[in-house]
Amino acid sequence: MKKLLLAGVALAAMTAVSYAADTYVVGMKGPGAGNPFWAAVEKGAKDKGAELGVDVVVVAPPAESDVQAQITQIEDLIAQKVSGIALAPTDPNALAPVVDAAKAAGIPVVFVDTKGVNEGVTFIGTDNAVGAALAADFMCKNLPQGSEVAILQGLISQSTGQARAEGSKKGLEACGLKVVAEQTAEWDRAKGQSVMENILTGNPNIKGVFASNDNMALGAVEALKAAAKLQDVMVVGFDANPDAAASILAGEMTASIAQAPGNIGGFGVQALVDLKAGKTIEPVIDTGTVLVTKDNAEQYK
């Protein structure tokens, strides 16, 4: 049976195991533990592996900001001569040389979740600019024109972070809302709370927050609770993970943008198997976005 390796849990697991040459790799940016989004990507990949009759093993760098750890992982996989890599790059520019090295070694590569900078490599994931615009449109329809709003950014070195920050700002400003703060919280819940506390200090009249992922949005909720301002401020996230869905149903977060992380993992697995079989795949495969509010949040718990 062919093996499919899904890179997504810990660097230690990577260095402790040697894999056979006939192995496919999907390299996630971070571990599923503690992040429902990556857990769902992992499940989607494993489910697809079971459907296709291939084994799925999960490893990853210890954190989404640990770029060097991911580079080392991919270098090790190239040395092991794996059969294919579907990669969610922590830093597309920094990972570009190892992606080129993989291709030069005859290893097929696709990008999942986050688009890379290497030409001719298929991207499988969310149209983040469209999703961010969907969030901005919701905020525009539910806040008075001229209201002060803030954006909690992810890692701007990643195309995902860039697209969500730029797409949301463009949409918010187009309808007359005033973006008074844009700060990164690096996709992290605790940092989201800390950054939101700082934003509130300088902008006490803020009426809305777009957070580029749900972890940061949930952190913002905690900051707003502590400041007794949650009832006055709309919080919109991105991912619609189970924690966010529960928060929306509890009347804390207002909305989120659902991705299809199971599709990201599953389509990545399918793409590797198809490429190995000599099939042609599309240059961009959109896995979809949906606005999640109290009306449909129950589906995402």
- Look at residue 235 in the predicted model and tell me its pLDDT: 98
Amino acid at 48: K
**Alpha-carbon distances of 212 from 21, 76, 154, 164, 197, rounded to whole Å:** 38, 32, 6, 6, 17
User: Using one digit for the tens of pLDDT, what is the confidence trace for 248-287?
Assistant: 999 999 999 998 888 999 999 899 989 888 999 999 998 9
Residues 6+ apart with CB under 8 A from 162: 156
Cα 221–Cα 227–Cα 228 angle in degrees, nearest 5 = 85
Report d(CA 3, CA 82) in Å as an integer: 10
Q: Which DSSP state fits 139?
A: H
Distances (CA, A) of 57 to 23, 28, 124, 250, 258: 10, 12, 20, 36, 26
- Burial profile 225-254: b = 16 or more Cβ within 10 angstroms, e = fewer: eeeebbeebbbbbbbbbbbbbbbbeeebbb
Whole-number pLDDT of residue 19: 61
Residues 6+ apart with CB under 8 A from 157: 91, 92, 93, 94
What is the 8-class DSSP label of residue 125?
E
Q: Are 214 and 258 in contact (CB under 8 A)?
A: no
Q: What pLDDT sits at residue 20?
A: 54
pLDDT at residue number 162:
94
Q: In the chain, which residues have pLDDT < 70?
A: 1-22, 56-57, 59
Nearest CA among 117, 197, 185, 191 for reference residue 155: 185
